[in-house]
Amino acid sequence: MVIRATGRVTRVLKRALPQGFRGVYKINIVGSTGAGKTAFLRCLLGDLFEPRTEAPRRSKTENEVDSTHTWFRIGKPEKESTTTISLNTAGILFVRTLYNSIEFHPVQMVDSLLLRDDIEEIWQLVFFDNAGQERFDFMPQLTMRGSDAVIILADGTNMSSIEKVSYYLDLVREEEYRASDGMFKIPILVLINKADLLDRGCFIGLNSVRHMIGSDPNYDYSETSMVTGDGVHDSVRILVSRLRENAIEN
């Protein structure tokens, strides 16, 4: 299991790479059901991510947000889509090389990574992929505790999903107050997903979303597509640079 492996891997990295090892970070991924949280990790990590808690998506058992869900509207067969019914986690090593390329590796690869001489830095990231259906709204409330960064995903073709971003922003604020009386800001990345559906005329662009939700120096916005992969690696680079800034400030 990912979390159990963390102890040894962290110790090895600390010892072998005192300058280049940046630490262990919990990244909490939240967003309404169907926004693309699980698809994001699949797109980012490929075979390194194995979601274990998926069930076929059935709109009648779900809620208001789902009734305008993309597959439903663009006529994709229902059986092709799944929904997360518990929590998926994925622990990985995020590597930035001397040539500024980024790579993802399983934590078990730590020993072979340390043999390389082109590594600038290694981050140990643990992603939490929450279940987004409303009946699981208790879950992000629990997993928010101890988050070092939060990714809020919204289905950019679904107004209800975009409106729910403010709800998750409030949860992050509550955690900032719980953890440090609001002294330390948790970096937030808001991803407006399904940009590939722009051609079908159902994608609400970033500018309108920014207008609806508002801007804040503590969060970054990006448009993404888990189908084309656009914006996915860039968003993780942004997140990691925010974590780096936070580490320097604190």
Q: By the criterion CB under 5 A, which residues form the site for Mg ion?
A: 37-38, 84
Packed helices 165-180 and 206-213: angle between N→C axes, nearest 10 degrees? 50
The angle subtended at Cα 167 by Cα 219 and Cα 208, nearest 5°, is: 60
User: Do β-strands 21-31 and 149-155 pair in parallel, antiparallel, or remain unpaired?
Assistant: parallel
| CB of 16 vs ligand GTP, minimal distance in Å | 36
Cα–Cα dist 145/242, whole Å? 19
Residue ranges of the alpha helices (H) in 106-205?
Answer: 110-113, 138-143, 159-163, 165-180
Q: Which does 35 bind (CB under 5 to 8 A by kind): Mg ion, ligand GTP, none?
A: ligand GTP
Whether the Cβ atoms of residue 244 and residue 25 lie closer than 8 Å to each other: no
Piece of 8-16, 188-196, 210-218, 237-245 that binds ligand GTP (CB under 6 A):
188-196
The reply on whether position 194 binds ligand GTP by CB under 6 A is yes
For ligand GTP, the closer of residues 133 and 147 by Cβ is 133
Q: From CA 196, how far away is CA 106, in angstroms rounded?
A: 29
Stretch that binds ligand GTP, among 120-128, 194-202, 213-221, 237-245 (CB under 6 A): 194-202
Q: Is 88 in the site for ligand GTP (CB under 6 A)?
A: no
- Compare residues 96 and 194 and give the one whose CB is closer to ligand GTP: 194
Which of Mg ion, ligand GTP, none does residue 26 bind (CB under 5 to 8 Å by kind)?
none
Q: Binding residue for ligand GTP (CB under 6 A) from 28, 70, 222, 235?
A: 70
Is 131 a binding residue for ligand GTP by CB under 6 A? The answer is: yes
Among the listed residues 94, 122, 132, 222, the single contact to ligand GTP using CB under 6 A: 132
Binding mask 197-226 for ligand GTP (x = CB under 6 A): x---------------------------xx
Angle CA 190–91–94, to nearest 5: 70
**Which residue in 27, 25, 19 sits closest to 121, CA to CA?**
19
User: Burial of 4 by CB count in 10 Å (0-12 exposed, 13-18 middle, 19+ buried)?
Assistant: exposed
Is 133 a binding residue for ligand GTP by CB under 6 A? The answer is yes
Burial 52-61 (b: 16+ CB within 10 A, else e): eeeeebeeee
**Of Mg ion, ligand GTP, none, which one does residue 27 interact with (CB within 5 to 8 Å by kind)?**
none
Residues forming contacts to ligand GTP in the complex (CB under 6 A) are 31, 33-39, 70-71, 81-84, 131-133, 193-194, 196-197, 225-227
